Amino acid sequence: MAEFTMELSDEQKEVRDWLHGFAADVIRPAAAEWDEREETPWPVIQEAAKVGIYSLDFYAQQYFDPTGLGIPMAMEELFWGDAGIALSIVGTGLAAVGVLANGTEEQIGTWIPQMYGDANDVKVAAFCSSEPDAGSDVASMRTRAVYDEAKDEWVLNGTKTWATNGGIANVHVVVAVVDPELGSKGHASFIVPPNTPGLSQGQKFKKHGIRASHTAEVVLGNVRVPGSCLLGGKEKLDARLARAREKAKKGGERVKNAAMATFEASRPAVGAMAVGTARAAYEVALEYAQTREQFGRPIIDNQGVAFQLADMRTSIDAARLLVWRASWMAINGKPFTAAEGSMSKLFASETAKKVTAQAVQILGGNGYTREYPVERMHRDSAIYTIFEGTSEIQRLVIARTLAGMPIR
Residue 179 Rama label (left phi>0; alpha psi -120 to 50; beta): beta
Q: Give bridge partners of residue 175 from the DSSP assignment.
A: 189
Torsion of CA 92, 97, 103, 109, to 10 degrees: 60
Q: 322: Cβ–Cβ under 8 A, 6 or more apart, which residues? A: 271, 340, 343, 344, 347, 348
Burial of 287 (0-12, 13-18, 19+ CB in 10 A): exposed
Residue pair 281/313 in contact by the 8 Å Cβ criterion = no
| C-alpha to C-alpha distances, 297 to 238, 252, 290, 364, nearest whole angstrom | 71, 59, 9, 16
Torsion of CA 225, 227, 232, 236, to 10 degrees: 140
Residue 170: name the closest of 123, 104, 231 by CA: 123
**H helix and E strand count, the chain:** 14, 11
Beta strands per DSSP E along 254-378: 293-294, 297-298
Q: What is the per-residue pLDDT for 395? A: 95
Q: DSSP assignment, residue 372? A: S
Find the helix or strand (DSSP H, E) in which 352 lies. Answer: helix 340-363
Q: What is the per-residue pLDDT for 255? A: 43
Q: 9: Cβ–Cβ under 8 A, 6 or more apart, which residues? A: 67
* Separation CA 227–CA 331 (nearest Å): 31
Q: What is the per-residue pLDDT for 253? A: 44
Per-residue pLDDT of the chain (408 residues), as tens digits, is: 778 888 899 999 999 999 999 999 999 999 999 999 999 999 999 999 999 999 988 988 998 899 999 999 999 999 999 999 999 999 998 899 889 889 999 999 999 999 999 999 999 999 999 998 876 666 678 999 999 999 999 999 999 999 999 999 999 999 999 999 888 789 999 999 999 999 999 999 999 999 999 999 999 999 999 999 999 999 999 998 998 888 645 543 444 445 555 565 678 999 999 999 999 999 999 999 999 999 999 999 999 999 999 999 999 999 999 999 999 999 988 888 899 999 999 999 999 999 999 999 999 999 999 999 999 999 999 999 998 889 999 999 999 999 988 766
Q: What is the per-residue pLDDT for 185? A: 85
Residue pair 222/155 in contact by the 8 Å Cβ criterion = yes
The SS3 of residue 3 is coil
Q: Within the chain, what is the greatest distance between any pair of CA atoms? A: 82
Beta strands per DSSP E along 272-352: 293-294, 297-298
- Per annotation, catalytic residue among 76, 77, 350, 388: 388
Find the length of the chain: 408
392 catalytically annotated: no
Q: What is the per-residue pLDDT for 262? A: 53
Whether pTM exceeds 0.85 = yes
State CA 159 to chain mean position distance: 21
DSSP string, 107-160: HHHHHHHHHHEETTEE--EEEE--BTTBSS-GGG---EEEEETTTTEEEEEEEE
Q: What is the per-residue pLDDT for 333? A: 86
Residue pair 291/301 in contact by the 8 Å Cβ criterion = no
State CA 347 to chain mean position distance: 15
Q: Decide the pairing of beta strands 125-128 and 171-177.
A: parallel
* Separation CA 323–CA 320 (nearest Å): 5
Q: Decide the pairing of beta strands 171-177 and 187-192.
A: antiparallel
